[in-house]
Copies of this chain bind each other. A is one copy, B any other.
Amino acid sequence: MKVLVLGGDGFCGWPTALHLSQAGHDITIVDNLSRRFIDVELEVESLTPIQPIHERITVWKEKTGKQIGFVNLDIAKEYTRLVDLFLDVQPDAVVHFAEQRAAPYSMRDSAAKRYTVDNNVSGTHNVLCAIVESGLDIAVVHLGTMGVYGYGWSGTAPIPEGYLTVSVPTPDGDLEREILHPANPGSVYHMTKTLDQLLFAFYAKNDLVRITDLHQGIVWGTQTPETALDDRLINRFDYDGDYGTVLNRFIMQAAIGHPLTVHGTGGQTRAFIHIRDTVRCIQIALENPPAKGDQVSVFNQVTETHRLKDLAEMVSKLTGAEIAYLPNPRKEAAENDLNVTRERFLALGLNPTTLSEGLVEETRDIGAKYADRVDLSKIIAKTVWNAGMETSPDLMS
């Protein structure tokens, strides 16, 4: 298939582009390098030394003989160029990662809140609008988030894959209806993914655009078989308070002897997936699109669920690291159950990487290897959900 990977220079986008290229798809990356600009803004760098996009693509060609295209384009701001690109490339599908993806960053200040909403909503809407304008039948695979469902709303009810069957009372008796699972986002970032869902539902209904929305858990790990082919293909690894995902932060903290930073009680239960499985899921979704006229196809892209406290204890046991319970800068339930339905990917052949296999390797190959690149002043999460909420001082600087 001819595939555009929007946001193909990012943490999920880059390994996905390589994985799809390796699988024989014809890939063009579309990215405005915004994630690298945010590194500059936040004065922090990936723990792993990532290479510039043209170097990455050149090395990939050198190692595999496969060509990946690159277009520097802002999908939220350069609509006409986006339409022209669709008409020029005539892709079978776009994989859409091109959104600001960090919850803490999205709560940082008004500028970051506004950037997250304007960038994510305009970007997604432009993609849909450009597909309709192009007249082409381009399928969309979009990275959503488990955070659209929220945590703890439905008690012990398993979170379904997108759609919930409910019973509505009417004068003629109860009516069964399948509805999009009610949205309960916990940050401005998560909120934008709930807005995306409504954009998708409308364009699937009105214009019969074929759309898959993947509600992903928290990603951990760094490398895939493709990014591991050469040091210069290495994937990004964020460890800072805004962009670092919880388990990767624990791994880095353990590697440098920093206490594992648990926010609040650690009773928050979240869903996880290894980056290796992310790229496999994207491939499966891409190769199994919905038909024209179908409702949006939703998958829960998660392989395990854990309480954050249990994760910290697991890493502590493996590495000897201490655990520090810090004030929670987020506004969220102190504890929650989480029971996620995830039949669809398993039925299509996904064979998940478990935490128990991957953790040791990750701590050794990434955390320890690049420990000297850590800026100690970037570890503690400082972004708060409401003005005046308490944060921890730095523990090691």
Contacts and interface: CB of A to CB of B under 8 A. Distances in A.
B110 A117 contact: no
A102 interface: no
A125 B113 CA distance: 9
Nearest to A199: B191
Interface string A188-213: 10010011001101100011000000
A125 B112 CA distance: 12
Interface in A339-397: 385-387
A70 interface: no
A158 to B, nearest CB: 8
Nearest to A125: B117
Given A121-B121, A168-B157, A180-B182, A114 B129 contact: yes
Nearest to A196: B195
Given A154-B177, A195-B121, A135 B387 contact: yes
A170 B182 contact: no
A132 B172 CA distance: 45
A79 B154 contact: no
A100 to B, nearest CB: 14
A288 interface: no
Interface stretch (A50-58, A91-99, A159-167, A317-325): A159-167
A85 to B, nearest CB: 15
A18 interface: no
Contacts of A132: 110
A290 interface: no
A26 to B, nearest CB: 27
B185 A157 contact: no
A132 B122 CA distance: 23
A129 to B, nearest CB: 5
A318 to B, nearest CB: 33
A154 B165 CA distance: 13
A118 B122 contact: yes
Interface residues of A, number: 53
A165 B169 contact: yes
A171 interface: yes
A202 B206 contact: no
A191 to B, nearest CB: 5
Contacts of A171: 156-158
A164 B172 contact: no
A232 to B, nearest CB: 39
Nearest to A190: B202
Contacts of A157: 168-171, 175
B79 A385 contact: no
Contacts of A166: 166-168, 179
B206 A385 contact: yes
A125 B135 CA distance: 31
28 contacts: A79-B110, A110-B129, A110-B132, A114-B129, A117-B125, A118-B118, A118-B121, A135-B387, A154-B168, A154-B177, A155-B170, A155-B175, A157-B170, A157-B171, A158-B171, A165-B169, A166-B166, A166-B168, A166-B179, A177-B182, A180-B182, A185-B202, A191-B198, A191-B199, A194-B198, A195-B195, A198-B198, A207-B386
Given A110-B132, A118-B118, A188-B202, 7 more contacts: A110-B129, A157-B175, A166-B168, A179-B179, A179-B182, A185-B202, A191-B198
